[in-house]
C-alpha cells in the first residue's frame, strides 16, 4: 500500500492503466511469464517439485525475476500457484507435471468441508518473506499477487484433479446448494487471507484467477459464484491496490464478472476487446488478449495480431496488454521479448 507513494510506483504504466489513467505506452505483462518456456526456469527447478519450489523464498524470488530480466514487461507476477494456500492449511495435494493439481481425498460432503480450515499468515511465512525480497529487487516495477477464485479451487477439490466437464462440481452446485455455498464461503475466506498476506508484504496489485468458471451459465454464475467473488473484491478493496479478475471461456460472463467488483476484467482470446468493452460495465479497465498460440506463427503474423489487440484495446477506458491465457510451455522466449517491445513502441503516445 504505502509502497505506492514511496518508491515511484505511482507512475507505473501498469498501475495507471489499471486505474484508467493516461499512460505513456500500453503496459504489458504475460500470464505464466515465469515457467517452462524459460530455460533458466527449467534449470532452477531441476529436481525440485512444483509445490516445494513455492515454499522456498530464494527460489520464488529468482523465478519471479527471470521474465523481468528478459522482457520489458511492466509488471512481475509472484511465483506461486493457486493450490499453495490449500496445501498450506493441510489439504493433501500435489501438482503433477503435465497433469496439474491432484487431490488425495476429494471434498464432496460435510466431513470433507470440515477439513478446510481458515488460512493464517503464519501458514505461509515463505510468501511474506519472498514478497518482501521481491519488492526490494523490483524497485519501480509493480508485483502482482494472485489467488485462485472459489469456483476454480472448488472444481479441483471436488473433482480431485483437472476436469473437462466438472461433473461432480456441478452435481454439488445444482444438487446441494447449502453445502456448495458453505464450501464457496470457506474458499473465499482462504482466498481473501492469501491476497491480504501478499499485499501486506508489498504486492501492488492482485489478480483473481477463475480459470474454469467459463463452464458455468450466466444464471448459475449469478446465483452460485458471484456472491463469493464479489465478497472477495469487497474485502480487499480497502487495501488500495488494483484488483484484476480473469477467467477462460468467459465471453458470456464478462458483464457479471465486471459486476463482481474488480477494477480490471481479464479477457481471453475469444472475445475481441472492443466487443468486451460493450459487455463489461463502465468504469473498468480491460486486460488481454492475444491468443497465446499466435506466438507459434511467424513474427509478421504476431505483429499484425498484436496491433489489432492494441487497436481494439484503445476503445477501453484502460488497457493492459496480455495474452488471452498463459504462455504455452513451448513458446520461444525471443517472441515474447519482441512482443513486449512491439507493444511499447506501437502504443507510445
The secondary structure of 268-318 as a DSSP string is -TTS-HHHHHHHSPSS-EEEEEE-GGGGGS-HHHHHHHHHHHHHHHTTSSS
Any known ligand binding at 33?
A: yes
Catalytic residue among 36, 270, 305, 338: 36
Among 25, 44, 57, 100, binds ligand CP3 (CB under 6 A): 100
Number of neighbours of residue 304 by Cβ within 10 angstroms: 11
Site for ligand CP3 in 209-268 (CB under 6 A): 209, 211
Catalytic residue among 32, 56, 270, 338: 32
Asked if 81 touches ligand CP3 (CB under 6 A), the answer is: yes
Any known ligand binding at 211?
A: yes
The secondary structure of 72-90 as a DSSP string is --S-EE-S--TTHHHHHTT
Q: Any bridge partners for residue 96, and if so which?
A: 100
Minimum CB separation from ligand CP3 for residue 24, in Å?
25
Minimum CB separation from ligand CP3 for residue 34, in Å?
4
Site for ligand CP3 in 158-217 (CB under 6 A): 209, 211
3 is catalytic: no
Number of neighbours of residue 83 by Cβ within 10 angstroms: 23
Measured CA angle at 293 (ends 287, 298), to 5 deg? 110
What is residue 260's DSSP assignment?
T
Catalytic residue among 3, 74, 81, 268: 81
Nearest to 330 by CA among 35, 30, 31, 37: 37
Shorter beta-carbon distance to ligand CP3: residue 12 or 37: 37
Calpha distance 161→180 (Å, rounded): 18
Shorter beta-carbon distance to ligand CP3: residue 101 or 313: 101
Shorter beta-carbon distance to ligand CP3: residue 13 or 326: 326
Strands 319-323 and 143-148: unpaired
φ and ψ at residue 327, rounded to 5 degrees: -55, 130
Nearest to 30 by CA among 315, 309, 346, 311: 309
36 is catalytic: yes
314 is catalytic: no
Calpha distance 65→338 (Å, rounded): 18
Q: Which window, 33-41, 219-227, 261-269, 303-311, contacts ligand CP3 (CB under 6 A)?
A: 33-41
Asked if 269 touches ligand CP3 (CB under 6 A), the answer is: no
Any known ligand binding at 279?
A: no
Among 19, 20, 36, 70, binds ligand CP3 (CB under 6 A): 36
What is residue 213's DSSP assignment?
G
Nearest to 321 by CA among 11, 14, 1, 55: 14
Any known ligand binding at 325?
A: yes
Among 28, 31, 190, 256, binds ligand CP3 (CB under 6 A): 31
Q: Which window, 74-82, 176-184, 224-232, 292-300, contacts ligand CP3 (CB under 6 A)?
A: 74-82
Q: Which window, 92-100, 168-176, 235-243, 253-261, contacts ligand CP3 (CB under 6 A)?
A: 92-100
What is residue 8's DSSP assignment?
T
Minimum CB separation from ligand CP3 for residue 276, in Å?
18
* Interacting residues toward ligand CP3 by CB under 6 A: 31-36, 45, 50, 77, 79, 81-82, 95, 97-98, 100-101, 146, 152, 209, 211, 326
Task: Provide the annotated binding site for substrate.
Answer: 32-36, 81, 156, 211, 325
Task: Provide the annotated binding site.
Answer: 32-36, 81, 156, 211, 325
Catalogue the active-site residues: 32, 36, 45, 81, 156
Amino acid at each position: 500500500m504505502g509502497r505506492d507513494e514511496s518508491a515511484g510506483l505511482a507512475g507505473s504504466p501498469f498501475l495507471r492503466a489499471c486505474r484508467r489513467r493516461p499512460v505513456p505506452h500500453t503496459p504489458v505483462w504475460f500470464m505464466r511469464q515465469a515457467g517452462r518456456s524459460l530455460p533458466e526456469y527449467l534449470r532452477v527447478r531441476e529436481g525440485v517439485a512444483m509445490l516445494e519450489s513455492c515454499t522456498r523464498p530464494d527460489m520464488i524470488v529468482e523465478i519471479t525475476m527471470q521474465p523481468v530480466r528478459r522482457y520489458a514487461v511492466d509488471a512481475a507476477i509472484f511465483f506461486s500457484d493457486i493450490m499453495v494456500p490449500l496445501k498450506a492449511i493441510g489439504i493433501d495435494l500435489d501438482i503433477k507435471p503435465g497433469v496439474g493439481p491432484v487431490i488425495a481425498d476429494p471434498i464432496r460432503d460435510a466431513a470433507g468441508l470440515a477439513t478446510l480450515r481458515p488460512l493464517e499468515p503464519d501458514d505461509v511465512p515463505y510468501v511474506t518473506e519472498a514478497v518482501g525480497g521481491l519488492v526490494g529487487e523490483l524497485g519501480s516495477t509493480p508485483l502482482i499477487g494472485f489467488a485462485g477464485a472459489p469456483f476454480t479451487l472448488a472444481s479441483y477439490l471436488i473433482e480431485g484433479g483437472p476436469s473437462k466437464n466438472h461433473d461432480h462440481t456441478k452435481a454439488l452446485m445444482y444438487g446441494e446448494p447449502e453445502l456448495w455455498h458453505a464450501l464457496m464461503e470457506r474458499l473465499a475466506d482462504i482466498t481473501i487471507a492469501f491476497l491480504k498476506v501478499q499485499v501486506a508484504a508489498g504486492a501492488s496489485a492482485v489478480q483473481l484467477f477463475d480459470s474454469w468458471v467459463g463452464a458455468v451459465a450466466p444464471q448459475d454464475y449469478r446465483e452460485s459464484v458471484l456472491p463469493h467473488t464479489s465478497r472477495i473484491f469487497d474485502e480487499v478493496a480497502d487495501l488500495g491496490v488494483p484488483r484484476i479478475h480473469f477467467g477462460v471461456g468467459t465471453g458470456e460472463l464478462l458483464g457479471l464478472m465486471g459486476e463482481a467488483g474488480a477494477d480490471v476484467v481479464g479477457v481471453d482470446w475469444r472475445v475481441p476487446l472492443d466487443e468486451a468493452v460493450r459487455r463489461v460495465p463502465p468504469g473498468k479497465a480491460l486486460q488481454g488478449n492475444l491468443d497465446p498460440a499466435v506466438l507459434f506463427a511467424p513474427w509478421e503474423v504476431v505483429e499484425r495480431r498484436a496491433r489489432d489487440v492494441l487497436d481494439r484495446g484503445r476503445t477501453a477506458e484502460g488497457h493492459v496488454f496480455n495474452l488471452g491465457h498463459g504462455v504455452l510451455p513451448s513458446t520461444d522466449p525471443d517472441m515474447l521479448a519482441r512482443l513486449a517491445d512491439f507493444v511499447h513502441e506501437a502504443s507510445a503516445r
